[in-house]
């Protein structure tokens, strides 16, 4: 069976979407190909990579990509992780089996010391629930 393709989108592609990409590869890479992109891509935030490392999740090869990189491609699931991107991607410029919206707070905008760890945990919890649904569908 072919791996399902999943694209995670957020504004800068420097924290939340990179976390989701790395986590999905870590949790279920044998069943999914994970990608991420941003509407206004920046670069992987150091605190993002550190939070992944503390959780034991490989961050090798993570890079901030523009949304246009994936325009016109098919994804089984496109998961938008912030409201700003959701507003800009109402009409995803590719083809998707499902388009989901998970509003995860941007850790870059938080003064909390554990903001990145908190965002990572929230994404992990949502991914676990989503993977449970996917397993039941197959």
CATH number for the domain that contains residue 41: 3.40.50.2300
Write out the two tokens for 129.
């629930």
Q: CA-CA distance, 89 to 98, in Å (whole number)?
A: 13
Q: Which helix (H) or strand (E) holds 28?
A: helix 16-28
Between 27 and 138, the higher pLDDT residue: 27
The predicted model scores a pTM of 0.94
State yes or no: pLDDT of 78 exceeds 80.
Answer: yes
C-alpha distances (whole Å) from 3 to each of 25, 77, 78, 135 are: 11, 12, 15, 13
Percent of the chain with pLDDT over 70: 93
Structural domains counted in the chain = 1
Q: Which domain holds residue 123?
A: 4-137
Number of other CB atoms surrounding residue 56 within 10 Å: 7
Residue 92, pLDDT score: 63
């Amino acid at each position: 069976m072919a791996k399902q393709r999943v694209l995670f989108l957020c504004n800068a592609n420097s924290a939340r979407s990179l976390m989701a990409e790395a986590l999905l590869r870590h949790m279920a890479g044998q069943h999914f190909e994970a990608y991420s992109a941003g509407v206004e891509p920046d670069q992987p935030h150091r605190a993002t990579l550190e939070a992944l490392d503390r959780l034991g999740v490989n961050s090798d090869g993570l890079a901030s990509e523009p949304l246009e990189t994936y325009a016109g491609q098919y994804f089984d699931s496109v998961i938008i992780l912030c409201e700003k991107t959701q507003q800009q991607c109402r009409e995803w410029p590719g083809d998707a089996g499902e388009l989901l919206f998970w509003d995860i707070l941007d850790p870059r905008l938080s003064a909390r010391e554990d903001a990145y760890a908190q965002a990572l945990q929230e994404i992990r919890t949502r991914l676990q629930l989503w993977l449970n649904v996917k397993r039941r569908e197959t």
